[in-house]
Amino acid sequence: MAITHPLTAALPSTQEALPDGPVVVADDVTLAFAGVVAVKGVSYEVAPRELFAIVGPNGAGKTSNFNLVSGVYQPTSGSMHVLGHDVTTMKPHEIARTGVARTFQNIELFENLTVVDNLMLGRQQHLHYGAGAAMLRTRRVQQAEVANREVVEAIVDFLDIQSHRDALVGMLPYGVQKRVELGRALAMEPKLLLLDEPVAGMNLEETEDMARFILDIRDELGVTIIMVEHDMGLVMDLADRVLVLDFGEVIANDVPSVVQRDPAVIRAYLGGTDMAELEGTR
């Protein structure tokens, strides 16, 4: 008998049918800051319900890619389609409303607010009342607040952070903050979730917990996930496909077992130019 996760009931729209075709289509995307080209003609597609990983050495353009998908940056050239929308020139909050959520490499939580308030901020686009109604605290506002608080509580339970519920986020340990940030993204009820180094700086136990959360989110909720991560063990275990970037360019895009043995990837990571190439340049 299949066990329904309470989270599936709390976040119904994550399981809605996605538009046909890939969830993300990056077509020849370039991002340049004056002379520095951070992303150079990158093209890739992410299929529905896929756990897609982006890896690469420091400065390869992984986070820049996230910023392009979520609208923090707009591509200098090329186009970006997410969930059937052309997001090339859309603003971050507009992209967020199409069903895209993300976490950040260096935690970007609202430190002066409690865990619950941070998660409630994730519910922002699911609360539809205006400022006037808010001031009068109408019945509709109260009902909306309670209903969304219940969703938040389901996420709190899922991430096992009940004891931190009313704590100010700035006071929490790093590992818990990482979880809260995942929770905040989850509260948005996304169809596409971008995770920027979800296990950076975590010990083995915390990493294993986080891996379990990520798999649950994908398997139970059916959320498509793109993950940037340096922990190769985690990436190779979890990811369906891996995109490898180096100096803003795609050097490999395949299943983990193939990517692991790709000479270009090994060269990018170990810096080893092989002898044949050295001979050639001489």
Contact residues for other proteins, defined by CB under 8 A: 70-72, 91-93, 96-97, 101-102, 104, 108-113, 117, 120-122, 124-125, 127, 129-131, 134-137, 141-142, 145-146, 149-150, 153, 184, 188
Shortest Cβ distance from residue 273 to other proteins (Å)?
Answer: 38
Residues paired with residue 172 on neighbouring β-strands, in sequence order:
none
Tell me the two tokens of residue 230.
Answer: 């340096």
Shortest Cβ distance from residue 73 to other proteins (Å)?
Answer: 11
Shortest Cβ distance from residue 117 to other proteins (Å)?
Answer: 6
C-beta of 135 vs 278, nearer to other proteins: 135
Shortest Cβ distance from residue 150 to other proteins (Å)?
Answer: 7
C-beta of 45 vs 145, nearer to other proteins: 145
C-beta of 151 vs 242, nearer to other proteins: 151
C-beta of 22 vs 71, nearer to other proteins: 71
C-beta of 101 vs 234, nearer to other proteins: 101
Shortest Cβ distance from residue 233 to other proteins (Å)?
Answer: 28
- Using an 8 Å Cβ cutoff, are 269 and 263 in contact? no
CA 265 to centroid of chain Cα atoms: 23
Question: Sheet harboring 36-46: ordered strands across?
Answer: 36-46, 24-33, 77-82, 85-86
Shortest Cβ distance from residue 63 to other proteins (Å)?
Answer: 12
Alpha-helix residue ranges (DSSP H) falling in 22-138: 62-70, 92-97, 115-122, 131-136
What SS3 string covers 132-159?
HHHHHCCHHHHHHHHHHHHHHHHHHHHH
C-beta of 127 vs 200, nearer to other proteins: 127
Distance CA 224, CA 147 (A): 25
Distance CA 47, CA 57 (A): 24
C-beta of 53 vs 116, nearer to other proteins: 116
Shortest Cβ distance from residue 132 to other proteins (Å)?
Answer: 9
β-strands 77-82, 224-228 pairing: unpaired
Alpha-helix residue ranges (DSSP H) falling in the chain: 6-10, 62-70, 92-97, 115-122, 131-136, 139-159, 174-187, 204-221, 232-238, 256-260, 263-270, 275-281
Distance CA 36, CA 34 (A): 6
